[in-house]
Structure 1
Amino acid sequence: MKPIILQGHERSLTQIVFNAEGDLLFTASKDKIVNAWYTSNGERLGTYNGHNGSVWTVACDSQTRYLLTGAADSTMKLWEVSTGKCLKTWEFLTAVTRVAWSEDDEMALCITEQRTGQPSVIRTFAINLADPAASSSTPLKEIILSGSKATCALWAPLSEHILTGHESGKIAKYDAKTGEEVNAVHESHRANITDIQLSPDGTYFITSSKDKTARIFDSDTLEEMKVFATETPLNSACITPLRPYIILGGGQDAMNVTTTSSRAGKFESRFWHKLFEEEVGRVKGHFGPINTLACHPQGRAYASGAEDGFVRVHWFDESYFRSRPFGDLEPEVEV
């Protein structure tokens, strides 16, 4: 499983996402730019320049027409994928830490940071697909969070609810129209939730946390279904289509990386069996903590972005798809 290494960022990666077809990968970084890449060969398609601070988050719509980004310059921007043109900018009082598209691409959400006396706020906006530049600057709904700030969020299936992960470890579900909290789980994670990603069918989702665990929850009831305990803080987790695996990524905090070997820092991508809750393999390669993971929509590959500034795209070998419960993954996969 030889990786394609993407070298287009000067600073650490913050979020990477595939488009719906899986032929493009979008990467956001602290170096203020967003890159688009062909996943088949690692060629850079283009760059989206316009933010004046670290770009924390990126999301692509289902048709690969438009891109949403959020950054430390307190703006959310809407881009045309094919031309790189910025079509719309929303300005806020604090940094935008997460953006996401609704299922039908007609709404977008963003999370703004809790800072300088400003609360953490989840906002939803209507997107005019016929003329995106004419999209309203006034949010459809503002959900002002009085307790722990939200660190990540996504739309639940049918886009009637919003699922959020919080700094305290709380998982919550909000009504997208009324803004009311309809359900919450406080007892599962014990530390900051770093990522939240849906399963391919949307019926469950996975979270990663600094408490060194990843957990799977039911999208409807928020019932905790599975727990994956590791020995390192986790920054991202994703669910693989086709095969019964999840992939976890993290590692020792960046401030301590220079004094630690890559092996001791635990910078591998970790494969766990989704049902048996057992680790089945690791993929090495990064020289810093893995900050973000994404799975190919058809389950043919996965990508990882790390503190070292590199993105690695791994296309799975044929052995991965064999019918045995664990495929041919070994306890240690050398790359």
Structure 2
Amino acid sequence: MSFPAPRPEPPRLPQHLLRTLECQQGAVRAVRFNADGNYLLTCGGDKSLKLWSVSRGALLKTYAGHGYEVLDVDGCVINLNTYSGTTPYSMRGTPATRVNCVRFNEEATVMLSGSIDGTVRCWDTRSRRMEPIQVLDEARDGVSSLKVVEHELLTGSVDGRLRRYDLRMGQLHVDFISSPITCVCFSQDGQCTLSSSLDSAVRLLDKSTGELLGEYTGHQNKDYKLDCCLSNKDTHVLCCSEDGHVYCWDLVEGSLALKLPVGKAVVQSLSFHPTEACLLTAMEGRVQVWGTEPEDAEADSIAAE
């Protein structure tokens, strides 16, 4: 006689506030985990970038010298001089207008930036030449977000287009979203793309065909460049909101799984831990760290083991 296997428990979501970091760098424009999730980086309206310990909430280093407020940073690579607290090099050939987003490839040999002038510029980080090695200018308005995975580059633009460049094959694929895009990302399995836009919708598309697989609504995104992302196991879709919450939907069912109250202002940015159910949110001049259990409960669990 056999019995049916028990149904797996649904993934637990980060909804307990573990700590708040008062960043003291003006408005925090973006917050990002690094590749292993042990550190976080905050981008400030005061033109600074700060590196923090996630577990201790301690400030480790402040990087200054930027000409404009810092709007994005790639958490996958900390390509900074941690001893002097300065960036190791600057880039010529950057547009005179604002840079909205930056990313490195996996080997950190190429750095890419998306700008308000509609271009994506690529630099060889190993070369002494500071001019870009390639400029992609297909967007008809500002590039608001970009992601790089292996040989693929995904960009979102204010012109409402989601562009995916296959850099190995030299091909460009375009999907029309119909509303200015604020954030883009790949799913963890590499089969889908996720984008948020100023019509207060988050869309999941099949990467190869452009088919709409899911649409997630209920949050507010009409005026600001806000982040969206997938959880570390592709089970949930998360997005910032102008009403002071982070919305979290079940990816398959499309139902709202969690409406996380962060505060009374716009939640500007978020970042999901690469391997654990831990979330970062940024609102005004502070960053919040969220977990599945209150911190005291986590400490008791570790002690019991």
Question: Which stretches in structure 2 are left out of the alignment for 5+ residues?
Answer: 1-15, 295-305
Return closer, same or farther for 1:146/1:242 CA change in 2, 3 Å cut-off. Answer: closer
Question: Are residue 150 (structure 1) and residue 143 (structure 2) matched?
Answer: yes
| Distance in 2 of aligned mates of 1:143 and 1:202 | 22
The CA deviation at 1:287 is 2.6
Question: Are residue 190 (structure 1) and residue 191 (structure 2) matched?
Answer: no
Whether the aligned pair in 2 keeps the contact of 1:154 and 1:163 (CA below 8 Å) is: yes
| Distance in 2 of aligned mates of 1:242 and 1:171 | 23
Match of 2:289 among 284, 288, 313: 313
| Distance in 1 of aligned mates of 2:104 and 2:70 | 17
Could you say which residue in structure 1 is the equivalent of 2:109? 106
Normalising by structure 2, report the TM-score.
0.82
Whether the aligned pair in 2 keeps the contact of 1:196 and 1:237 (CA below 8 Å) is: yes
Could you say which residue in structure 1 is the equivalent of 2:99? 96
Higher relative contact order (CA 8 A, sep 6+): 2
Return closer, same or farther for 1:84/1:223 CA change in 2, 3 Å cut-off. Answer: farther
Question: Which stretches in structure 1 are left out of the alignment for 5+ residues?
Answer: 68-78, 115-119, 129-133, 252-265, 319-335
Whether the aligned pair in 2 keeps the contact of 1:172 and 1:181 (CA below 8 Å) is: no
Cα shift readout 1:253-312 (whole Å, capped 9, x = no counterpart): xxxxxxxxxxxxx21111110110010111113231111110000133010112x21111
Question: Are residue 296 (structure 1) and residue 299 (structure 2) matched?
Answer: no
| Distance in 2 of aligned mates of 1:125 and 1:249 | 30
Cα shift readout 1:27-53 (whole Å, capped 9, x = no counterpart): 102111111111112111111111132
Normalising by structure 1, report the TM-score.
0.75
The CA deviation at 1:5 is 0.5
Whether the aligned pair in 1 keeps the contact of 2:17 and 2:288 (CA below 8 Å) is: no
Question: Are residue 278 (structure 1) and residue 255 (structure 2) matched?
Answer: yes
Q: SS at the partner of 1:84?
A: coil
| Distance in 2 of aligned mates of 1:292 and 1:147 | 25
Whether the aligned pair in 1 keeps the contact of 2:219 and 2:241 (CA below 8 Å) is: no
Give every structure 1 segment of 4 or more consecutive aligned residues whose post-TM-superposition deviation is greater than 4 Å.
none
Whether the aligned pair in 1 keeps the contact of 2:219 and 2:247 (CA below 8 Å) is: no
C-alpha RMSD over aligned residues: 2.2
Return closer, same or farther for 1:286/1:82 CA change in 2, 3 Å cut-off. Answer: farther
The sequence identity of aligned pairs, in percent, is 19
- Superposition pairs for residues 193-272 of structure 1, below 5 Å? 193-233=181-221, 235-242=226-233, 244-251=235-242, 266-272=243-249
Whether the aligned pair in 2 keeps the contact of 1:172 and 1:185 (CA below 8 Å) is: yes
| Distance in 2 of aligned mates of 1:204 and 1:83 | 40
The CA deviation at 1:56 is 1.1
